[in-house]
Structure 1
Amino acid sequence: MSSKYDSITDAITPTCATIKRTPSRASVSSTYSTRKRRRVSVASLHLGQDLARPLVPETPIEEINGDRFVTVRTSTSFPLNITPRTNRIAKAFGLLDDRVLSPTNSPSLYSDRCFRSLLRRSASELFSTSRAASLLSAKANLGARNHFVLALDGPGMSTDLFASPMAWSHANCIGVAFKYDVYFQDLESRAVVHLCRSSLSDGTVHSIDWGGKAKPYLLALGTTFGDVRVMDAEKGMQLVDWVDDGHGMGGMHWNGDVLAVGRAGGNVTLFDIRMRAEIANIMGHKRRVHGVKWSVDGHHLATGDDSGIVHIWDHRASNLLTNGDKNIRMKHKGPVKALSWSPWQHGLLASGGGSPDGAIHIWNTGKMAPSSGPVHTIPLQTTITSLHWSLHCKELLSTHGSSWAVPQINVHPAAHASAVGVENSLAVHSYPSCRQIVNVKAHSAPVGHSCMAPDGCSVFTVSPKEETIKMFRVWSAPDDKDKNEGSDMTFKSTIR
């Protein structure tokens, strides 16, 4: 009897063990989500009636799949890309990769690579989003108009690209030198006045410059033979005449009552209108001084000569800051006429070189040290005739003459393309990126000189070969003051 029941018990035990065993939490969580529930109901056992038949569950196992991922791709599942439209959407969101999860297979390297590519593309789009151009910037003004707003005929101007035959006063008067004569026009009344005429013995007028804000009607002019004359344009009379013994004329610039004049012999002469006499003679250059520019605060004077050397003179110490060490000299490979001090950063100076240099150097004169170079260089391979920092934003304007052939073995082809692009043009560069943001073809011939308006918004350019003077609206003031000024000046007139 015992043997009979022992055999029955042995037959039941494996079956019952199989039914009552509950899967562990670890085995369930590896395949299904924690939100899944597995409910198993087992038929009640009656030893007397059901020993002969096999035991099976009365209710099948019910599985609730609450996960949002497909665990295993089945052969009957529909593809993710049903239509061309969904195909494009899936491709845009990176869903065409192998992204179906599998409990056994690890993520493929291709999937990881595509996911990283998607992240890089998203990040690059985020960082490459261009900001809207500021209303003060040249991009929103000159770049939007891309044309001059005023044109004047200028026959008989000096064809010397190192001459400075035009200046803009704080009284909104534009002065222009034509050979021996000097004219000025009031841009508000449009009245043209003949101011003076130099004699044949003095030579033609090489450079002119208006006085500062305190004396806007004071006009200085220098002839090719070195004669310097100061005129009162409001009264139409000569105030003083400084005669130089045989030295030619370079550039000139006012600093209050003091006038700095560059000479052909390499020296720079300082005149004081109050004393009506020469007060200083700066010796540092060995060639003709083309560029002369006072800093905004009037403490430093920058000068550039025909050999490409730029010197900084301290007005308070009466000493050259760049003459003690040869390595500290600021040097170009071509003549330097274009100089401009930044009005919003102390000691920041931009200088431009002519042929064969064709580059803009930006110097931090407040941190000059032996063998220190420019903080930025903009190679353009085109003659740079003038430079102007904006008063309202961090941008630099440059005017250009002709370009020259660039050996492709030393220069990248993109540099040659940019050189041709700025020929005879007016270009604006952002700072400190030094990226060119605007480039407008100003004239059909080289731009010899330019001057900026006192409000810092407009620029006049001169092309002696084209015999034309043009005004361009480049920037806007912060409060948009005089925004429409010059909008009606699209006619062509003559200054003579």
Structure 2
Amino acid sequence: MGTVFDNSVEEEDEQRCRGQVAKVEAEEWSWREMKLRAHGTDTQRTIIKEAHLLQLMAPLWRPCSSLPAISLPRSPAIDPRNRSSMADPLSVLLLARLSRGSLNSCPQQVQFLQRWENNDFCFEFLQRWENLDRFIPNRSAMDFDFAHYMLTERGKGKENQSVVRSQSKEAYLKLLAETFNMNRSRILAFKNKPPTPVKLIPDEFYSFVHQSKPSKPLRRIPQTPERTLDAPDIIDDFCLNLMDWGSSNVLALALQNTVYLWDASNGSASELVTVDDENGPVTSVSWAADGQYIAIGLNSSDVQLWDSTANRLLRTLRGGHQSRVGSLDWKNHILTTGGMDGQIINNDVRVHSHIVATFRGHRQEVCGLKWSTSGQQLASGGNDNLLYIWDRSMASMHSRSQWLHRLEDHTAAVKALAWCPFQRNLLASGGGGSDGCIKFWNTHTSACLNSVDTGSQVCALLWNKNERELLSSHGFMQNQMTLWMYPSMVKIAELTGHTSRVLFMAQSPDGRTVATAAGDETLKFWNAFGTPEVKKAAPKAEHPGPFPHLRRIR
């Protein structure tokens, strides 16, 4: 039996290589790899990992015209009696070279290796392969802890979220990152950051316009009111709520014992009701969602329900409070009332026994009440500097500690409350004279997301229905309205015109106009939120005609 390296075999192999380059059979390579992993040396096991990389590099090192095909035994160190078969020259060469000097080396492998080392191309390949540099990265600038968090925790529960983040979400995450020192933009960094360049021009010489390019033109906000009306004898009391703008575009304003209605569509004013001195003055007003029915809270602790279209008293709710009712808010057929006695009562206006639930928590007068957009949570602020979040499912007739969250961060009376119309569980609250802060709350976790010191008493808050903006009204010293960009809380504009604290604000149904009433006995209308976007009407479907079946394409 002749050796595999005789001349006849070589000539035959060289002729075969001119047509194509031999490839390693999949089964043979897997068998050899398995044997080497099980019985080979550390060096032989190492080549298994590098062989895949070298196979990818093979087209760069092995032109078809330069390398002859090689025939050699199947794993000669294990079974030298097997006949030769075609094998990949790179793989055979590497295995033969690594087995040199080992106990399992055979003469065929040594002879094969010597023959290939005499080949100029193979010698150059082996020399380059042995002299390849190893890349050692500088990992001092890497942040592996944060990288692990980003890979494991950050993506949880985001399968159903939108790919495009909202502007408020981005700003909130940026603020959160700065607070907890998580502003890490470089995770897999292979070199340290370059030194900060020296600024030739100080920052104060750059204008805000050059630093930030708005995505759309800035809205012009008029600094003067569109209209001013007299509001004689309006009660200057921080804890009352004497104005509301209904969905039928009618504004209700209480002046002492009388409730007036002003129709914004035609500018006409009318008197709804004047109560007697025994029940008066009027301490609160609130429109129902339909814009037809209005609730009126009285100093006598009674609450009256009126039909504004017929100027007719529907019913009077009694027996719930022991003193004046200064706060009202609707949730469908439930009218929630807050009194000076600290109680909050849910009244079902459809039934005779109207009291269906009671919230107890405030120790002083309830100054503000607001139901969330979903109707699941109720926010209440009191003269005891407390802010409560109530869940409608936890209300009962007998429990005295059924609140969801009790928030004590304010240092003055809390009257101004506003639920965000575009973000769930986001509530804005404002504190009185010694506080002067606007705070933003996550009502699901009770966390305070941000606090802004305005420098003056916060009397009322309104969210813009069309933009991410918040309007606040204030007292001493400037008695102004301030428009804020949310969530950055950058001042957009300050509207001045009142000479006393701006106690009450109401927003028109289209969200454009804001009405303000102050202790200076004036009622002003401001174009604070701009012109709303007009939605295009959906195209009407074409009438099919008397014979719709004839319109089909056959």
Equivalents in 2 of 1:193, 1:324: separation in Å?
A: 42
Matching residue within 359, 372, 375 for 1:282: 359
Matching residue within 254, 265, 273 for 2:330: 254
The answer to whether 1:140 aligns with 2:214 is no
Matching residue within 423, 439, 443 for 2:494: 439
The residue type equivalent to 1:343 in the other structure is P
Structure 1 match to 2:295: 220
Structure 1 match to 2:57: none
Sequence identity of aligned pairs in percent?
A: 27
1:224 Cα offset (Å): 1.6
The residue type equivalent to 1:383 in the other structure is Q
Matching residue within 218, 238, 244 for 2:313: 238
Q: Which has the higher contact order (CA 8 A, sep 6+)?
A: 1
SS of 1:331's partner is coil
What TM-score, normalized by structure 1, do the two folds share?
0.63
- Report which of the two has the higher share of helix: 2
Q: 1:294 to 1:141 in 2, by over 3 A?
A: farther
Structure 2 match to 1:449: 504
The answer to whether 1:458 aligns with 2:513 is yes
SS of 2:341's partner is coil
Q: 1:392 to 1:248 in 2, by over 3 A?
A: same
Q: Cα RMSD over matched residues?
A: 3.1
Q: Residues 54-91 of structure 1: CA distance to partner in whole angstroms, max 9, x if unpaired?
A: xxxxxxxxxxxxxxxxxxxxxxxxxxxxxxxxxxxxxx
Alignment gaps of 5+ in structure 2: 1-193, 537-554
In the TM superposition, 1:40-119 aligns within 5 A as 116-118=198-200
Structure 2 match to 1:344: 422
1:232 Cα offset (Å): 0.5
The answer to whether 1:265 aligns with 2:320 is no
Q: 1:115 to 1:427 in 2, by over 3 A?
A: closer
Structure 1 match to 2:141: none
Equivalents in 2 of 1:427, 1:114: separation in Å?
A: 38
SS of 1:346's partner is coil
**Alpha-carbon contact 2:390-2:402 (below 8 Å) kept:** no
Equivalents in 2 of 1:270, 1:451: separation in Å?
A: 23
- Report which of the two has the higher share of strand: 1
Structure 1 match to 2:524: 470
Structure 1 match to 2:458: 384
Structure 1 match to 2:249: 172
The residue type equivalent to 1:436 in the other structure is K
Equivalents in 1 of 2:405, 2:357: separation in Å?
A: 26
The residue type equivalent to 2:525 in the other structure is M
Q: Residues 25-76 of structure 1: CA distance to partner in whole angstroms, max 9, x if unpaired?
A: xxxxxxxxxxxxxxxxxxxxxxxxxxxxxxxxxxxxxxxxxxxxxxxxxxxx
Equivalents in 2 of 1:124, 1:184: separation in Å?
A: 51
The residue type equivalent to 1:232 in the other structure is D
Q: Residues 9-37 of structure 1: CA distance to partner in whole angstroms, max 9, x if unpaired?
A: xxxxxxxxxxxxxxxxxxxxxxxxxxxxx
1:378 Cα offset (Å): 0.8
Equivalents in 1 of 2:403, 2:308: separation in Å?
A: 44
Structure 1 match to 2:49: none
The answer to whether 1:400 aligns with 2:474 is yes
**Alpha-carbon contact 2:246-2:291 (below 8 Å) kept:** yes
Structure 2 match to 1:203: 280
Matching residue within 231, 254, 266 for 1:154: 231
Equivalents in 2 of 1:133, 1:386: separation in Å?
A: 30
Structure 1 match to 2:17: none
The residue type equivalent to 1:275 in the other structure is V
Structure 2 match to 1:33: none
Q: 1:171 to 1:290 in 2, by over 3 A?
A: same
Q: 1:461 to 1:119 in 2, by over 3 A?
A: closer
The residue type equivalent to 1:361 in the other structure is K
Q: 1:128 to 1:187 in 2, by over 3 A?
A: same
Structure 1 match to 2:268: 191
**Alpha-carbon contact 1:313-1:319 (below 8 Å) kept:** no
The answer to whether 1:305 aligns with 2:382 is yes
Equivalents in 2 of 1:118, 1:268: separation in Å?
A: 62
**Alpha-carbon contact 2:474-2:480 (below 8 Å) kept:** yes
Equivalents in 2 of 1:445, 1:133: separation in Å?
A: 37
1:218 Cα offset (Å): 0.8
Q: 1:349 to 1:323 in 2, by over 3 A?
A: farther
Equivalents in 2 of 1:281, 1:115: separation in Å?
A: 64
Equivalents in 2 of 1:128, 1:310: separation in Å?
A: 41
Q: 1:126 to 1:475 in 2, by over 3 A?
A: closer
The residue type equivalent to 1:429 in the other structure is W
Equivalents in 2 of 1:120, 1:190: separation in Å?
A: 54
SS of 1:185's partner is strand
Structure 2 match to 1:129: 211
Count of paired positions: 340
1:162 Cα offset (Å): 2.1
Equivalents in 2 of 1:115, 1:432: separation in Å?
A: 31
1:477 Cα offset (Å): 5.1
Structure 2 match to 1:20: none
Q: 1:318 to 1:129 in 2, by over 3 A?
A: same
Q: 1:179 to 1:125 in 2, by over 3 A?
A: closer
The residue type equivalent to 1:385 in the other structure is C
In the TM superposition, 1:309-348 aligns within 5 A as 309-318=386-395, 329-348=407-426
Equivalents in 1 of 2:509, 2:305: separation in Å?
A: 20
1:270 Cα offset (Å): 1.1
Q: 1:326 to 1:295 in 2, by over 3 A?
A: closer
Alignment gaps of 5+ in structure 1: 1-111, 404-422, 483-496
- Structure 1 runs (4+) greater than 6 angstroms displaced: 112-115, 123-127, 319-322, 324-327
1:255 Cα offset (Å): 1.3
1:124 Cα offset (Å): 7.5
What TM-score, normalized by structure 2, do the two folds share?
0.57
Equivalents in 1 of 2:210, 2:440: separation in Å?
A: 27
Structure 2 match to 1:163: 240
1:265 Cα offset (Å): 1.2
Equivalents in 2 of 1:426, 1:125: separation in Å?
A: 25
The residue type equivalent to 1:312 in the other structure is I
Q: 1:301 to 1:115 in 2, by over 3 A?
A: closer
**Alpha-carbon contact 2:503-2:518 (below 8 Å) kept:** yes
The residue type equivalent to 1:216 in the other structure is G
Q: 1:444 to 1:119 in 2, by over 3 A?
A: closer
Equivalents in 1 of 2:227, 2:215: separation in Å?
A: 25
Q: Residues 292-328 of structure 1: CA distance to partner in whole angstroms, max 9, x if unpaired?
A: 0011111110000101100011113437999589995
Q: Residues 192-242 of structure 1: CA distance to partner in whole angstroms, max 9, x if unpaired?
A: 221111121112001101111xx2111111012211001000111011101
The residue type equivalent to 1:260 in the other structure is T
The residue type equivalent to 2:358 in the other structure is N
Equivalents in 2 of 1:334, 1:349: separation in Å?
A: 18
Equivalents in 1 of 2:336, 2:196: separation in Å?
A: 66
